[in-house]
Amino acid sequence: MRQGRARTVRHPRHVAIIMDGNGRWARARGLPRSMGHRRGVEAVRAAVRAAGELGIEYLTLFAFSSENWRRPKDEIEELLGLLKHFIRRDLADLHKEGVRVRVIGGRDDLSADIRSLLEEAENLTRDNSRQTLVIAFNYGARDEVARAVKRIAEKFAAGEVTLDALTADYLGEHMDTAGIPDPDLIIRTSGELRLSNFLLWQAAYSEFVFMPCLWPDFDRQSFEDAIAEYASRDRRFGGLSREIAS
């Protein structure tokens, strides 16, 4: 059994997770991929619960990539069904616990029932303030930037904004994550060492922790281990390290 670290750790305000490895988890056990996704949903519930207990204010989960539409139709239907089930089953509890749900990603091409479900989750929990759960659904970072630039270009064409106003901060205000602090820590499971088009703009100064465990095996101890690793880092944001500065 892994031993937790006893020392007090510095907690990140915002943790984002790339939940990877459901399919490999299932394949290693001779199970269909659908079983891996279902166990992955259980890991989502555990992660949301652990984040709240650990005092994480913002938790962002990469639930469905805009590239995932390329997967087999039956797997897409399974993933969409699990999303619907998660929201319908867990939304009331999240609301009761004071969790605000925020969804990022493109919505124009989504079916009406999915769009309605996402809006219901956001509207019901809009005034909650204990914790924010950000669900990245039909999300791709490059698409997010393109949509933000398009919105700004429309404002510029209408004479609502000048060139002088087109700063990095102004662009950030048009991202899906406007009003949400950038992630302090980004965790990826399954041992893969890449961002996979996730929060490219927001990750400029994030710390990365890549974990070998597959997502269905990610538990409270895994979360604590990632936070402990984060706490050991010297975040400089382009400045000097604490040792050099002192």
* b (16+ CB within 10 A) / e for 1-11: eeeeeeeeeee
| Mean pLDDT along residues 125-131 | 96
Averaged pLDDT of the chain: 92
**Residue 116 assigned as binding residue:** no
Q: pLDDT band at 198, cuts 50/70/90?
A: very high
In the chain, % of residues over pLDDT 90: 84
Q: What is the pTM of this model?
A: 0.90
Q: Which one-letter DSSP state was computed for residue 129?
A: -
Query: What is the percentage of the chain residues whose pLDDT exceeds 70?
Result: 92
Query: Is 94 within 8 Å of 125 (Cβ atoms)?
Result: yes
The 10s digit of each residue's pLDDT in 135-192 is 999 999 999 999 999 999 999 999 999 999 999 999 999 999 999 999 999 999 999 9
Model confidence over 72-99: pLDDT tens digits?
999 999 999 988 888 888 999 999 999 9
Q: Is 217 a catalytic residue?
A: no
Is 20 annotated to bind a ligand? Reply is yes
Q: Would you say 195 is a known binding-site residue?
A: yes
For the beta sheet containing 14-18, the strands, ordered from the edge strand earlier in sequence to the opposite edge, are 99-104, 131-139, 58-65, 14-18, 185-188, 207-210
- H helix runs in 16-111, sequence order: 22-28, 33-53, 73-96
Q: Annotation-wise, does 37 bind a ligand?
A: yes
The CB density around residue 62, as the number of other CB atoms within 10 Å, is: 25
For the chain, what are the domain ranges?
14-140+183-233
179 is in an annotated binding site: no
CATH class of 14-140+183-233: alpha beta
Clarify whether 128 is annotated catalytic. no
pLDDT tens for 213-241 read: 999 999 999 999 999 999 999 877 665 55
Q: Is 246 annotated as a binding residue?
A: no
